[in-house]
Amino acid sequence: MRRGAPTRRFYGTFALLGLAGCLFTQTATAPKIDRLLVVDLRPGLEVTEEQARGLEEMLAQRLGELPGIVPWTRRDLVVELGGTVALGTEYREPGSLARPVLTIPAGLRELGVQIYLIGEVHTFGLSESFGEVGFRRDEAEVSLAVRLYLAPTGEFIAEAQTERLLAQSNTNRWRPGMVIGPNEEFLDTLEGRASQGAVDELAEDLAPDFEKTPWSGRVTEVEGDKVILPVGFEENAAPGDIFIIYGPSTVLGERGSRIGSVRIQSVGPGESLAEPISGGGFQSGQLAVQEL
């Protein structure tokens, strides 16, 4: 999947239908469309911004190994959007026991983010050191807690947390000035190994939730009986892929009512042309979720 805002449609309806005839003549079983994930880790009370950013990069790289996941970190967003980047915000009604919901700024919506991971690094670094000269045993602890949300609606998907305690003798230690992240120097330290263990455990816990979370986005445009979706061949969209269309929701963090479904006829760069197969009343801005 490309990194960047969707390519603007350069063809009209007839040109797109022409592409369908010459390039996309086969209808195959719907593949897993790539989903854009934002990884947003924040420092706890005794954790520095540098430590949180380093673990954010490590977690993003690890989650990027999951099928169909394209991760973005804060650093990626700064490069793409430039300047200061507004991030997602969790919200829960005061006194409510319901799950929190997530809101994301317009810039992230325009990028087409499908999944948002937000969380905290609670602990990082040395927890205990003991021993004598020539034989020292150190313990390093890394703990994280994260929540997953469906970005277009803000609805809660899952949560996970991990606490990794690693004890070793006479090993390399992280020191100020050493870059924290998925680099060989850091991963060769006690803190680096503890961090990698925590990241691996989180990725394993969340893998089933990523697997069952389909691509989602907003209908770009409706032209007659054709529905334009903001997903193209770069994201592995293909003719035959089916999407459920939902009407507007009156509740933050929830989908509206299902109003119908559409099937992709042809795929272009950044957009696809779909035909209705059930329901109707489709409009731009409505939520579209791939049927798995």
> Is 120 in the same domain as 75?
yes
Report pLDDT for 131.
58
Last residue of a domain, one of 159, 179, 211: 211
- Is residue 102 packed enough to be buried (19+ CB in 10 Å), middle (13-18) or exposed (0-12)? buried
pLDDT of residue 197: 95
115 in a structural domain: yes
Looking at the domain assignment, is residue 26 inside a domain? yes
Please name the residues in contact with 287: beta carbons below 8 A apart, sequence gap of 6 or more: 152, 153, 216, 217, 218, 219, 245, 246, 249, 255, 256
156 and 269 belong to one structural domain: no
CATH classification of the domain holding 269: 2.40.10.170
Report CA-CA distances (Å) from 28 to 24, 218, 261.
Answer: 10, 23, 18
The secondary structure of residue 26, as a DSSP letter, is -
> Are 275 and 201 in the same domain?
no
Token pair recorded at residue 5: 């805002």
H or E element in which residue 261 lies = strand 258-267
How many residues are there in the chain? 292
How many CA atoms are closer than 13 Å to the CA of 292, on its beta-carbon side?
10
Q: How many structural domains compose the chain? A: 2
Residue-level pLDDT at 195: 95
**Is-contact 272 229, C-beta < 8 A?**
yes
Closest CA to 140 of 55, 61, 76: 55
State pTM to two decimals: 0.85
Q: Does 200 share its domain with 253? A: no
User: Which CATH number is 44's domain given?
Assistant: 3.40.50.10610
Strand 115-132 relative to strand 101-103, pairing: unpaired
Q: 202 and 102 in one domain? A: yes
24 and 87 both lie in a single domain: no
* Mean pLDDT (10-residue bins), the chain, 292 residues: 38 38 39 89 94 97 96 93 87 78 92 96 77 68 96 95 84 85 93 95 96 95 95 94 94 92 96 96 96 90
Burial class (CB in 10 A: 0-12, 13-18, 19+), 202: buried
Is 250 found in the same domain as 141?
Answer: no
Q: Do residues 143 and 267 share a domain?
A: no
Distance CA(165)–CA(167), nearest Å, equals 7
| Residue 263 shares a structural domain with residue 164 | no
Same structural domain, 244 and 164: no
Expressed as residue numbers, the domain containing 127 is 35-211
Using alpha carbons, list the distances in angstroms from residue 253 to 96, 150, 257, 258: 14, 9, 13, 15
> What pLDDT is attached to residue 129?
59
Judgement on whether residues 118 and 128 belong to the same structural domain of the protein: yes
Residue 7 has, within 13 A of its CA and on its CB side, a CA count of 16
- Residue 8 included in any domain: no
Q: Is residue 1 part of a domain?
A: no
